Amino acid sequence: MKTLTKKDLVNAVSQGMAMDTAGANHCVEQFFATLTALLSTGHHIRLKNFGKFEIQQKSPRLGRNPKTKETVQIPALTRVAFKPSDALKKRLNQP
């Protein structure tokens, strides 16, 4: 499985929209900046036929170092979760 880099994404947008690489790079950068800004203010982002990005709050919890068996406090954290849409799942599972 190949990893898609931002450069690959910029090239794909550039070719798909018949625009120069600098313009495609600006579009991709702006898209990610907008997603980041909206998520950081607590918004959920739903992209039709793709999926939903949402913020989840994880509570602090106790963990254990597997090597020393020492108990450690794992702090609360905020994470981004992605839930694919049914349409995306269907496209991915087509033969």
Q: Are residues 50 and 86 in the same domain?
A: yes
User: pLDDT tens digits, residue range 20-46?
Assistant: 999 999 999 999 999 999 999 999 999
pLDDT-derived band at 19 (thresholds 50, 70, 90) equals very high
The domain that contains 84 carries what CATH number?
Answer: 4.10.520.10
Structural domains of the chain, count: 2
Domain that holds residue 77: 44-95
CA distances to 49, 54, 61, 67, 82 from 89, rounded to whole Å, are 9, 18, 33, 39, 13
Please tell me the pTM assigned to this model.
0.76
User: pLDDT tens digits, residue range 47-71?
Assistant: 999 999 999 999 999 999 999 999 9
Q: Are residues 34 and 48 in the same domain?
A: no
Residue with tokens 């798909």: 16
- What is the predicted pLDDT for the residue at 30? 97
Contact 88, 49 (CB under 8 A): yes
Q: Are residues 49 and 92 in the same domain?
A: yes
